[in-house]
């Protein structure tokens, strides 16, 4: 009974971590158009540097994070990660006072660094703590926490930060009615609205860091808890696991394509004539679809469908919807972008346990490689922004197609490849 109570308490604490991930991550969908006006950005590449600075930290900092966790343990590492995140949110204060875009990007990089640590803690924990065949179900539960935060984050940010007068300023700037010193003064005043909510978030993160560390959640050692698959114990390198390496690429494609569908949808809606105030709800629609997908996963996996078969269904559905995004008229196309949330919901939960299974002593480093795949959010969204400088927003969504095609390959064949020689 005690072990069962600790199990559920541990999952609840990690669920809170995933809620925090969603709170600070998915607000980027509204930071993109907000900074475009407030920092007077002129190109698609500049605009999507928000997501690039945030998620590139996963590529740069995840391996150092794995060494940190090996040294201090997973529980203390989570506390350190939360304090680093609090430092990043605090940096929004001087960045807003000076209206310096580079400082905002630095703050987002610091937050991304903290998430590289926290994701390296949370994902192995959820995968290892219970039976392997139900890992996707547990990840789906964590995803509900994450996406629920994602639904409310952009709406909460817009409600707290974007005042009615700010909406008028944005409209005046975009129409060219406000220019020169008057424009600069108005934007300086407008961007100070980010200070109060990010100060509150800083305090919340610092308090939660202490609560998490003091909680009865047990520490874990993934390298011992994730037993090796028979016949793979003597592999000399983490790169000797093809299903892991191919899974990292699949996760890169998934996370990048998911980020595109969420971070770009406000601008896509605005291209149809909607105001920012009207368009701001679309990321929440997409995240609500993701939430529905997670609920489906909780109910059906593994009772009615295996996590591998669910992955096949989701990747194929994602490819079909991506084609429809390109083929349908704009007003129908945007709803296909929204509906991508449903198949996207279970792809992460499907790939992770298939890629990390049986790594034994390489589990920590393997987990780090999978977390590094989150840089797909940075690279593919920036690539999308570059494409929009040369083609329409709708046409730029063709970037989704190769991503889903590769994910289908992994879901059907890639996860089965135990040795590189089988590729010959």
pLDDT tens for each residue of the chain, 424 residues long: 446 777 778 778 888 888 888 888 777 767 777 788 788 877 777 877 887 888 888 888 888 888 888 888 888 888 999 999 999 999 999 998 888 889 999 999 999 999 888 888 887 777 776 666 666 677 778 878 877 887 787 778 777 777 777 777 777 877 777 778 888 888 888 888 888 888 999 999 999 999 988 887 777 666 565 555 554 555 778 888 999 999 999 999 999 999 898 888 988 998 898 877 788 788 888 888 988 888 888 888 878 888 889 999 999 999 999 999 999 999 899 999 999 999 998 898 889 889 988 887 787 788 888 888 888 888 898 899 889 888 999 999 999 999 999 999 999 999 999 888 765 5
pLDDT value at residue 222: 61
For 2-216+238-423, CATH number out of 1.20.1250.20, 3.90.580.10, 3.10.620.30, 3.30.365.10 equals 1.20.1250.20
Tokens of 135: 């890992």
Contact residues for 252 (Cβ-Cβ < 8 A; gap 6+): 373, 375, 376, 379
Q: Where are the domains of the chain?
A: 2-216+238-423
Place of tokens 């034994």: 360
For the entire predicted model, the pTM comes to 0.74
pLDDT value at residue 71: 85
Q: CB of 350 within 8 A of CB of 230?
A: no
pLDDT value at residue 338: 94
């Amino acid at each position: 009974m005690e072990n069962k109570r600790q199990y559920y308490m541990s999952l609840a604490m990690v669920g809170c971590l995933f809620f925090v991930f969603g709170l600070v991550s998915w607000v980027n969908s509204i930071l993109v158009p907000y900074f475009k006006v407030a920092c007077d950005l002129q190109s698609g590449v500049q605009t999507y540097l928000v997501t690039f600075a945030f998620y590139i930290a996963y590529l740069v900092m995840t391996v150092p994070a794995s060494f940190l966790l090996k040294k201090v343990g997973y529980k203390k590492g989570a506390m350190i990660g939360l304090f680093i995140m609090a430092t990043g949110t605090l940096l929004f204060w001087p960045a807003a006072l000076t209206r310096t875009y580079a400082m905002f990007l630095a703050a987002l990089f610091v937050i991304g660094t903290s998430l590289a640590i926290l994701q390296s803690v949370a994902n192995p924990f959820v995968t290892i703590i219970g039976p392997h065949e139900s890992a996707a179900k547990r990840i789906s539960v964590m995803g509900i926490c994450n996406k629920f935060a994602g639904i409310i984050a952009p709406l909460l940010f817009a409600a707290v930060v974007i005042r009615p007068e700010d909406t008028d300023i944005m409209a005046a700037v975009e129409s060219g009615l406000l220019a020169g010193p008057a424009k600069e003064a108005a934007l300086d005043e407008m961007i100070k609205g980010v200070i109060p909510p990010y100060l509150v978030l800083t305090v919340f993160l610092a308090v939660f860091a202490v609560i998490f560390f003091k909680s009865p959640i047990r520490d874990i050692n993934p390298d011992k808890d994730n037993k090796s698959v028979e016949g793979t114990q003597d592999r000399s390198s983490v790169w000797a696991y093809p299903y892991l390496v191919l899974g990292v690429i699949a996760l890169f494609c998934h996370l990048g394509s998911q980020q595109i569908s969420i971070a770009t949808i406000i601008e896509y809606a605005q291209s149809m004539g909607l105001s920012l105030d009207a368009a701001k709800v679309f990321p929440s629609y997409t995240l609500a679809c993701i939430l529905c997908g997670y609920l489906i996963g909780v109910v059906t996996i593994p009772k009615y469908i295996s996590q591998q078969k669910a992955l096949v269904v989701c990747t194929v559905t994602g490819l079909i919807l991506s084609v429809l995004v390109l083929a349908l008229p704009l007003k129908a196309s945007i709803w296909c972008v929204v509906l991508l949330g449903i198949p996207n919901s279970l792809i992460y939960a499907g790939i992770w346990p298939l890629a990390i299974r049986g790594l034994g002593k390489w589990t920590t480093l393997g987990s780090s490689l999978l977390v590094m795949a989150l840089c797909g959010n940075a690279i593919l969204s920036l690539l999308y922004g570059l494409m929009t400088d040369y083609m329409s927003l709708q046409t730029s969504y063709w970037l989704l197609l190769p991503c889903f095609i590769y994910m289908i390959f992994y879901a059907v064949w890639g996860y089965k490849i135990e040795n590189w020689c089988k590729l010959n």
